Amino acid sequence: MASNPAYETVIGLEVHAQLLTQSKLFCGDSIAYGAAPNTHVSPVTLAHPGTLPKMNKKAVELAIRMGLACHCEIERHNYFARKNYFYPDLPKGYQVSQHTTPICKGGHITIRTEAGGERAVRLNRIHLEEDAGKSLHDVLDTDSCIDLNRAGTPLIEIVTEPDLRSAEEVSAYLTELRKLVRYLGVCDGNMEEGSLRCDVNISVRRQGDARLGTKVEIKNLNSIRNARRAVEAESRRLIELLENGQPVLQQTRSFDAATGTSFATREKEDADDYRYFADPDLTPFALEESFIDSIRASLPELQEQRVQRYMNQWNLPDYDARVITDDKSLADFYEEMVNAGALPKPAANWMLGPVKSWLNENDKEISDFPLSPAALAAVLKMVDTGALSFSAASTRLFTHLLQHPADDAAVAAQQLNLIQQSDADTLAPLIDEVLARYADKVTEYKKGKKGVLALFVGEVMKRSKGKADPRVTNELLLERLKS
Amino acid sequence: MFSFSSIDQYHSSLQDGTATCLQAVEHYLQRINAQMHLNAFVDIYADEARTRAAALDLQRQSGRPMEVLHGVVIGIKDVIAYNGHKLTAASRILEGFHSIYSATAVERLLEAGAIIIGSLNCDEFAMGSTNENSAYGKVLNALDETRIPGGSSGGSAVAVQAGLCMVSLGSDTGGSVRQPADLCGIIGLKPTYGRISRYGLIAYASSFDQIGIFGSTIADVALTLQVMAGADDFDSTVSTRPVPDYTHGLKEKQDKPLRIAYFPEALDHPSLDPEISQAIHNLLKNLQAEGHQVSPVSFSLLDHIVPAYYVLTTAEASSNLSRYDGVRYGYRTSKEGLDINELYETTRSEAFGTEVKRRIMLGTFVLSAGYYDAYYTRAQKVRKLLFDQTQLIFKEFDHIFLPTTPSTAFRIGEKTTDPIAMYLADIYTVMANLVGIPAISLPLFRHSNGMPFGLQVMSNRFEELSLLRISDLLIDRQLKP
């Protein structure tokens, strides 16, 4: 999109991330995705009369972990407030949230810009709250269906300052944020399943204006691509309005991914009064210094630290280290391969080559990859010892194993007749045959035309039907030609 | 012929074979049936109670030791959850609702061998002082059936007063146990906020609510408290302090003089019946003559506590009652073709009673933008001040004496038209809930109009043992010629 250089787009993001706890924020119900509707619903989730919340300490720990990784200030005195409103998928008639005391304040997330530089996007806050259930309007003709499995799932809301200026930056920020939550083990980052959801606040103003334009909020963007498209489309729409002298209305809008346009869902004039007050069912909680310290001490390694480690410990080039660590699961897979005995650089080549190609072609994540790191490491080890050529390994054996993941690599290589001949007794007759056939070339070689060696190697390979180990063949030929 | 005077006596007769649990249950079922017009019970678990009593008898006769509340026949207010049983808060909005879990208090009673005989009538969602605001109709005071029994736990008070069970549970948010106990002439205890788990108690105002106990002896009340009190994984506001052995503690001899404070502003308040004022003044005078320390303490906040109480409790109630929306359970309007907001409005308008609607609206108002600071924030400040002042008093004194109510039980229908006058009658009871301290109403007096009235005693937080001891002493003293 060619943006109008006379205008500046100002964007702030609110991202909801479902925390990777076992159970809900205030009761023991499971938060596993994909269960049959209304099966993770205790009396507490259903808001039956007399039920009370009990805080999940793990959720607090994960929120602090995220805050520390984002360089936030951690609030020592916390309480939960009730946000009161009626909605069928909100069983209590109020959402329990941290209204005035977010557990993490300030902080920033560093993004890499397209130009290759780095920029810090400032955070306003990260706070804890509970998710609502789901209203489904397309299951039955006349009635809406409610699924309360999700109700009460712990969330953190990560709110930026209005620091972003383009769709590209929005995309870079979301990519970085998703990577961060995955590295931290705070959220699975799965936007399709709704565990990471994004609201965009966007306004435009003339370049140089100090005052922000009227803000529009686009709710519930479920992929980085759609967030990017929504920002592009909305920025264009708002600039057009201003160019045509029309007013921008403060609205909440929804993005239709099918048409690539947004539509208003409500005007701000009928904004609710949420009547926030401290939830009397939950006692305020103070965070001990030692608790925060222990979380700080156990922060997992993040991408940048891994890049450095791969470069220092395993001599990987910066590019390899960065591409592998862009996806934590991919990096974990890679490390397991190395730990299973694969050499670091060849293992990196495999990750960036055959493995990534397969993932891209099949549109899969590494978690869907059929082979275990150990199985793939076994293939690499056969290449390393010369039992297998790289091409036989990466084309024929790899393809076979992807289809038969349970097969043993060595056995399969035997069956496919891919094992290289490195045995002098087997290769000697072939070498004799070639040297006899090309006696004239032997004479040329001995006169100093060393380049013909490749011809001899190639001929031996041909006669072995590709199974001769080129390295061993080379050595044997050199030996024979000396005499 | 079965007769009951205390749990201790009942257990003796079970042990010497002169009574059985089944006889006790039959006795109460018969009495309940004979007194149906009092309207104390909402639901009676007759067959279930008989089965359980027979099982308990069998266990005991086979030599198994008795649990502490073995065979004790208990009624519970219709705001306390009991798995598989109707739970409606005396409201149409919960019409047909059955709880799918039990309150922690109920589970502990059952584990201790109690027999729950039925659920008891009350004001809708525990909002009221007369038990006239019930979907099941009013409850009658058994001492004079033209009078109210008090509220909101009116059914629970009358059940003990009329001998329809041994002990009953109520809930006390601003006096809903102590006030009906006073008007019915029995003992009513509201423990410290957080002493008994609220899990399974339908919330009216979460930071005020506490399950309370009605009984005819201090020892019975102490034993029931003992069973229910203590930490609970399902309530984060309940205290984890160890529970003292109240029963044993009651038997220990106390020789130290009592240190009692009273508020002249309260005892000489224009709204207080002069006979009640006189009776308490006389008692104080006698106690002083007997060597106890009795001192007047100035209490300037008296006229602020009822407004602060109603602002804070209605605010919490407006939010707590949001879940009754006709979506998941309970009543839903039968009108068709409504959008979601109309469904909420119609359902809630049709099924909530007048007093509940009044409090929801009041609470919504005091929390709304523009009024929040003037009402909610200020009321919280009053609560804090009151807490601090009370703590100062308890530095020098062990107990505060107050009336429980400004008058004896009035006639049914007498005050229903004036909600403000009704709210102001809570002047003596709301303090304990605002501060979270334990308080008890003791049936010490009788008015010239023939009706009973009580004395309210308050102690510091978690000082139930001290409160029960002085209660025992005051009742004993009253019984002596």
pLDDT digits (tens, 9 = 90+) for B109-159: 999 999 999 999 999 999 999 999 999 999 999 999 999 999 999 999 999
- CA B458/CA B438 separation, integer angstroms: 6
| Chain A residue nearest residue B201, CA to CA | A50
Q: Which residues pair with A118 in a beta bridge?
A: A112
Instruction: Give me the sign of the Cα torsion angle A141, A143, A149, A153.
Output: positive
Report chain B's mean pLDDT, rounded to a whole number.
Answer: 96
Contact A86 B341 (CB under 8 A): yes
- CA A360/CA A352 separation, integer angstroms: 11
Chain segment A239-263, per-residue pLDDT in tens: 999 999 999 999 999 999 999 999 9
Q: Which residues of A touch B235 (CB under 8 A)?
A: 52, 54
Chain segment A159-217, per-residue pLDDT in tens: 999 999 999 999 999 999 999 999 999 999 999 899 999 999 999 999 999 999 999 99
Question: How deeply is A236 buried, as exposed, middle or buried, from its count of CB atoms within 10 A (0-12, 13-18, 19+)?
Answer: middle
Q: Quick check: A23 pLDDT over 90? A: yes
- CA B362/CA A309 separation, integer angstroms: 63
Q: Which residue in the set A43, A275, A281 is minimally distant from B368, CB to CB? A: A275
How confident is residue B409, by pLDDT bands cut at 50, 70 and 90?
A: very high
CB atoms within 10 A of CB A446: 11
Residues A387, A393, A397: CA angle, nearest 5 degrees: 110
- CA A136/CA B290 separation, integer angstroms: 73
B367 and A277 Cβ atoms separated by less than 8 Å: yes
Chain segment A301-319, per-residue pLDDT in tens: 999 999 999 999 999 999 9
- Reference B279, options B289, B270, B267; nearest CA is B267
Contact B323 A84 (CB under 8 A): no
Query: What is the token pair recorded at A217?
Result: 């909020």
What is the SS3 string spanning B233-269? CCCCCCCCCCCCCHHHHHHCCCCCCCEEEECHHHHCC
Contact B236 A86 (CB under 8 A): no
Chain B contact for A82, CB < 8 A?
yes
Please state the φ and ψ torsions of residue B163, each to the nearest 5 degrees: 70, 40
Mean pLDDT value of segment A386-390 = 79
Residue A372's contacts (CB-CB under 8 Å, 6 or more residues apart) are A336
Q: Which residue in the set A50, A82, A281 is minimally distant from B200, CB to CB? A: A50
Q: To the nearest whole angstrom, how far is the Cα of B415 from the nearest Cα of chain A?
A: 30
Q: To the nearest whole angstrom, how far is the Cα of B367 from the nearest Cα of chain A?
A: 5
| Chain B residue nearest residue A84, CA to CA | B319
Q: Which range, of A339-353, A467-481, B261-275, averages the lowest pLDDT? A: A467-481
How confident is residue A432, by pLDDT bands cut at 50, 70 and 90?
A: confident
Query: What is the token pair recorded at A433?
Result: 């045959």
Question: Counting runs of H as helices and runs of E as strands, what totals does chain A give?
Answer: 17, 17
Q: Helices marked H in A244-355 — which ranges?
A: 289-297, 303-314, 318-325, 328-339, 344-350
| Chain A residue nearest residue B364, CA to CA | A275
How confident is residue A2, by pLDDT bands cut at 50, 70 and 90?
A: very low
B75 and B169 Cβ atoms separated by less than 8 Å: yes
- CA A59/CA A153 separation, integer angstroms: 10
Chain B contact for A92, CB < 8 A?
yes
Is B285 assigned a catalytic role?
no
Mean pLDDT value of segment B308-329 = 97
Chain B contact for A104, CB < 8 A?
no
| Angle (deg, nearest 10), helices A424-437 and A439-446 | 90
Chain segment A59-93, per-residue pLDDT in tens: 999 999 999 999 999 999 999 999 999 999 999 99
- CA B75/CA A153 separation, integer angstroms: 37
- How far from the centroid of its chain's Cα atoms is residue A59's Cα? 21
Contact A84 B236 (CB under 8 A): no
Chain B contact for A373, CB < 8 A?
no
Q: Quick check: B481 pLDDT over 70? A: no
Q: Which residues of B touch A273 (CB under 8 A)?
A: 368-369
Is B176 assigned a catalytic role?
yes
Residue B176's contacts (CB-CB under 8 Å, 6 or more residues apart) are B122, B123, B126, B129, B151, B152, B153, B170, B212
Is B152 assigned a catalytic role?
yes
How confident is residue A1, by pLDDT bands cut at 50, 70 and 90?
A: very low
What pTM, to 2 d.p., does this model score?
0.90
ipTM of the complex: 0.96
- CA B163/CA A7 separation, integer angstroms: 82
Query: What is the token pair recorded at A293?
Result: 């310290």
SS3 of B41, please?
strand
